[in-house]
Amino acid sequence: MALMFTDQDFEEKVLKSQKPVMVDFYAERCGPCKAAAPVIEELAEAYKEKMVIGKLDVDQNQTMAGKYGVMSIPTVILFKDAKEADRMTGFAGKEGYEKLIKKVLGEE
């Protein structure tokens, strides 16, 4: 299961995480985000040993979306050691996300 992040627990769950984290910035109203949702779930399951994968609803959590300059959704941002390691805007399919994940895990 993909985790749900909020403005309140973002520091604890994302920035302080021991493992790298991928955050899917999304909203209910956004069609491409809906198309991305099952892929995010699938990846969360497939990479659960190595990585934390979760979602942040930008309508409910505007602080973090604003802080990281998210202006288009879906946007995924990968965090490693409390820093942004990479990001991708627009749903690029499972392969696109896996490329990012492998890059941040050093599995390329």
Partner 1 sequence: MRQLIIIGSGPAGYTAAVYAARADLKPLMFSGEVAGGQLMNTRVVENWPGTKEGVMGSELMMEMREQAKKFGAEIIDKKVNKVDLEGKVKKIWAGKEVFESRAVIVATGAESIMLGVSGEKEFLGRGVATCAVCDAPFYREKTVYVIGGGDAAAEDALTLTKYAKEIFLVHRRDQLRASKIMAKRVQENPKVKILWNTELKEIIGKEKVEKIRIMNNQTGKEEEMVTDGVFMAIGHKPATEIFKDQLELNEKGYIKTKMSYPGVTTTSVKGVFAAGDVVDWHYQQAVTAAGMGCQAALDAERYLEDKNE
Active site residues: 30, 33
Distance CA 14, CA 82 (A): 7
Q: Considering beta carbons, is residue 42 or 80 the nearer one to partner 1?
A: 42
Q: Considering beta carbons, is residue 35 or 82 the nearer one to partner 1?
A: 35
Residue 91 binds partner 1 (CB under 8 A): yes
Smallest Cα–Cα separation from 36: which of 53, 49, 19, 60? 53
Residue 90 binds partner 1 (CB under 8 A): yes
Residue 60 binds partner 1 (CB under 8 A): no
Smallest Cα–Cα separation from 1: which of 76, 51, 54? 54
Q: Considering beta carbons, is residue 20 or 74 the nearer one to partner 1?
A: 74
Distance CA 31, CA 34 (A): 5
Distance CA 49, CA 32 (A): 27
Q: What is the CA radius of gyration of the chain?
A: 12
- Segment interacting with partner 1, rule: CB under 8 A, options 7-15, 25-33, 78-86, 99-107: 25-33
Question: Which of the residues 39 through 58 are near partner 1 (CB under 8 A)?
Answer: 39, 58
Structure tokens at 56: 């942040």
For binding to partner 1 (CB under 8 A), which residues are involved? 27, 29-35, 39, 58-59, 65, 69-75, 89-96
